[in-house]
Structure 1
Amino acid sequence: MTTTEIHPIELDDGIVLRAIAADDGPALAEAYARNREHLAPWEPLREPEFFTAAVHERGAAADVRRLREGTAIPLVLDDGDRIVGRVNLSDIVRGAFQNVHLGYWVDASLQGRGLATASVGIALHHARSAGLHRVQAGTLLHNTASQRVLEQNGFERFGTAPRYLWIAGEWQDHVLFQRLLED
């Protein structure tokens, strides 16, 4: 899959879901800095360097390469002036598994508008178009908003993973979800 195969899709009031671009680094740094407190409970602890343009310039370039190589489908939500969210299909595994991991977030100022639900739905379309069989996601046990997004997109719970990821400075349990794309 290449960036030319991912066409921008307007979600709501000029907000577009599109493939990440190599020059998105500074806008990503600004988006993460703007949402630092909003994202902190759901992500690993971030060093100050994480919020710099240089870190995200390298990250955007790597994401574009992974997209080109077919190992990830990195997407951003863009309101025309700034990046207001991310949707990542990462760690694509081929062979007998045909699996990908899903992660996403939406700007604090845009919560409750259905943008995450719509974006995840579009990401599922991209995963299906890439020939994948299964999309997996995990949420913290208390992240009911994210669980609703997944359930509204046809994901089913299939387990709980104790101490699954190092989030907000501690190993935290996660509810695991999957969506089989043939369903």
Structure 2
Amino acid sequence: MFTRRSKIRIETERMTLRLPMHSDYLDWRDLRSQGQTFLQPWEPQWAADHLSRKGFTNRVYWAQRSVVAQTALPLFLVRREDNVLLGALTLDNIRRGPAQAGTVGYWIGHGFARQGYMREALAAVVHYSFTKLDLSRVEAACLPENTASRGVLEKAGFKYEGVAQSYLQINGRWRNHVLYSSLRNDRRGPTQVGLA
């Protein structure tokens, strides 16, 4: 579980997953601005202050409040060998009670894509969700044409569940999304349904 003073760190083979800090601003801004063309087709429309220090400061405070409230776990992916910021992954919308579920979203810098970092991070966060947070289900959604995201979800053990119509507003338009999940006690076999 989260604690008010906990320093959440998840170690993987190549990375440390940790909460964002104010000192990450310049690395985050550079990674996001350099990858803007790569990221924007898959993300909600960026606000005017998206890359500003104030916008980032608000994100850091949101991350801290979310961890205390136990509603989200926002993590930066930092490569251990050289302390380079690679991207971010957030377990959000954590629901307790009968659901015991959360929704994961993620992005990776253009120069670090397709190197297995996000699959490694997803696998670690799913394991943490099941063993430390006692969740039963981790959900994810992506655009149907985002084959890279679909591939990383499937390699991390997520299973295709269907399509949600007008699920999220991406790059200024309401878009359908394909839905995936990872279950703590998953008895489902591999799926080929919904794969293009």
Task: State the TM-score, normalizing by the size of structure 2.
Answer: 0.84
Of the three residues 139, 146, 149, the one matched with 1:146 is 149
Residues 1-16 of structure 1: matches in 2 within 5 Å? 1-2=2-3, 4=6, 6-12=8-14, 15-16=15-16
Work out whether residues 12 and 124 of structure 2, in 8 Å CA contact, stay in contact via their aligned partners in 1: no
Of the three residues 155, 170, 173, the one matched with 2:173 is 170
Work out whether residues 164 and 176 of structure 2, in 8 Å CA contact, stay in contact via their aligned partners in 1: yes
Work out the number of aligned pairs and report it. Answer: 181
1:86 CA displacement: 0.3
1:120 CA displacement: 0.3
Q: Runs of 5+ in structure 2 lacking a partner?
A: 187-196
Work out whether residues 84 and 107 of structure 1, in 8 Å CA contact, stay in contact via their aligned partners in 2: yes
Percent identity between the two aligned chains: 29
Identify the range of structure 1 (77-86 vs 52-61) with the bigger mean alpha-carbon deviation.
77-86
Work out whether residues 98 and 131 of structure 1, in 8 Å CA contact, stay in contact via their aligned partners in 2: yes
Of the three residues 79, 83, 86, the one matched with 2:85 is 83
CA offset digits 1:22-50 (Å, max 9, x no partner): 54344433332222111101001113311
CA offset digits 1:29-82 (Å, max 9, x no partner): 333222211110100111331111110111111102211221111110124554
What's 2:112 paired with?
A: 110
Q: Runs of 5+ in structure 1 lacking a partner?
A: none
Aligned equivalents of 1:152 and 1:8: distance in 2? 19
Task: State the TM-score, normalizing by the size of structure 1.
Answer: 0.89
Work out whether residues 121 and 153 of structure 1, in 8 Å CA contact, stay in contact via their aligned partners in 2: yes
1:182 CA displacement: 2.5
TM-align CA RMSD: 1.9
What's 2:128 paired with?
A: 126
1:11 CA displacement: 4.0
1:83 CA displacement: 2.4
Aligned equivalents of 2:92 and 2:61: distance in 1? 15
What's 1:135 paired with?
A: 138
